[in-house]
Amino acid sequence: MNLEDINKIKELLSTPQKIAIIPHKNPDGDAIGSTLGLWHYLKNAGHDATVVSPNDSPKFLKWMPGCDAILNFEKENSQAKNALSEATLIFTLDFNDFGRVGQMEQFLEDATAQFVMIDHHQAPSDYAVVTYSDVTMSSTCEMVYHFIDYLGDSDKVTPEMANCLYTGIMTDTGSFRFRSTTSKTHVVAGHLIDKGAKNSDINNAIYNTNSPSRLHLLGCALKNMVILDEYSTAYITLSQDELDLYKYKKGDTEGFVNYGLTLEGIKFAVIFIENREEGIIKISFRSQGNFSVNKFARTYFEGGGHDNAAGGKSDLSLKETAARFLSILPEFKNELVN
Ligand SMILES: [Mn+2]
């Protein structure tokens, strides 16, 4: 954040505000961690703050301090609408376009509040009075820590805030493995541990929550994996029938796509997951090195994200989607193999 933005924030927060803090739809560890981390900070600073989520958070995040107080726009609709319409200030975290909040979109469009964006995705929209956008950041949680630090309040980080922010840094960096992890990321994580983040407990709470059926679904996904050495690519398909067979629950396929990248020499990994209810194929893309899956997803599969992690979708059948993917790959052969 530049000095002008820091001063603008200081001015906005100089008197008690009614604040709504919004994560993106289908919030992940970074979205919930950053909104709750900021929520604790703003409440402690004397503001009337509420986290309003477009929909429910996954079960493996429910332990996070403050998670019970999140308003779910789908379930607590009137309370959530009130919080949005009454807000004087709205923070949008871990997304940068109103298209990412589902049914809440219109209520953000109509809100009279001033917006502040804190986010690390590409191509931010222009809706905020302060846009703190930095694609080099590991996570929005890391940015919320810097945000608090810019305001001169790093000594006011509580154990609750530290646990929330550490969680999002850990999940968005794949436990400090991704390229977005910098020395600064580690320094921030270290400060958060000093402030009370229980790093080992967080790791347990997030990653050691498998059900037998999820592991069986993972077995199915790995068996379905197709390895294309000539394109340094591996992809997985999961049909709705397979999801049903293994009693799929929301969140069960989280992280499956990454297994492709653990193969020696594989730079591009994809998972195609059939969603019969929505009539689409949901797609996740991951890459290692310079191959931009953000560009790939934007160009061919109505999606986007980061250079090394992106999402997309297709209206074709599962088979047709995989076939279309295979027909596009040759175009990228040079980029993928070199
Ligand atoms: Mn994030």
What is the distance in A from the centroid of ligand 1 to the CA of 272?
21
> Can you give the pLDDT at residue 225?
98
Higher confidence at residue 255 or residue 115? 115
What is the distance in A from the centroid of ligand 1 to the CA of 241?
31
What is the distance in A from the centroid of ligand 1 to the CA of 214?
24
What 8-state DSSP symbol labels residue 121?
A: S
> Can you give the pLDDT at residue 250?
84
The answer to whether residues 293 and 307 touch, using CB atoms and an 8 Å cutoff, is yes
What is the distance in A from the centroid of ligand 1 to the CA of 32?
10
What is the distance in A from the centroid of ligand 1 to the CA of 245?
31
Is residue 75 predicted with pLDDT exceeding 90? yes
Q: Does domain 212-337 have CATH number 3.40.47.10?
A: no
What is the distance in A from the centroid of ligand 1 to the CA of 77?
25
The mean per-residue pLDDT over the stretch 67-90 comes to 97
> Can you give the pLDDT at residue 83?
97
Average pLDDT over all residues of the chain: 96
Is residue 178 predicted with pLDDT exceeding 90? no
SS3 197: coil
Sorted by where each begins, the domain ranges of the chain are: 3-207, 212-337
> Can you give the pLDDT at residue 251?
83
What is the distance in A from the centroid of ligand 1 to the CA of 168?
7
> Can you give the pLDDT at residue 20?
98
The mean per-residue pLDDT over the stretch 75-81 comes to 97
Percentage of the chain beyond pLDDT 70 is 100
The mean per-residue pLDDT over the stretch 115-124 comes to 96
The mean per-residue pLDDT over the stretch 76-85 comes to 96
What is the distance in A from the centroid of ligand 1 to the CA of 141?
7
What is the distance in A from the centroid of ligand 1 to the CA of 268?
20
What is the distance in A from the centroid of ligand 1 to the CA of 54?
16
What is the distance in A from the centroid of ligand 1 to the CA of 142?
9
The mean per-residue pLDDT over the stretch 165-187 comes to 95
The mean per-residue pLDDT over the stretch 121-145 comes to 97
The mean per-residue pLDDT over the stretch 209-223 comes to 96
Phi, psi for 245 (deg, rounded to 5): -55, -40
Q: Rounded to 5, what percent of the chain is helix, strand, coil?
A: 50, 20, 35
Is residue 103 predicted with pLDDT exceeding 90? yes
What is the distance in A from the centroid of ligand 1 to the CA of 30?
5
SS3 335: helix
Nearest to 91 by CA among 137, 24, 185: 24
> Can you give the pLDDT at residue 245?
97
Higher confidence at residue 145 or residue 177? 145
Q: How confident is the model at residue 338 (pLDDT cuts 50, 70, 90)?
A: confident
> Can you give the pLDDT at residue 179?
87
What is the distance in A from the centroid of ligand 1 to the CA of 230?
32
> Can you give the pLDDT at residue 130?
98
Question: What are the tens digits of pLDDT across the range 281-324?
Answer: 999 999 999 999 999 999 999 999 889 999 999 999 999 999 99
Half-sphere exposure (Cβ direction) of 323: Cα atoms closer than 13 Å: 6
Residues with CB under 5 A from ligand 1 (ion): 30, 94, 139-140, 172
CA-to-CA distance for 76 and 55, rounded, in angstroms? 10
Q: Does domain 3-207 have CATH number 3.40.50.720?
A: no
Residue with tokens 């040759």: 330
Is residue 112 predicted with pLDDT exceeding 90? yes
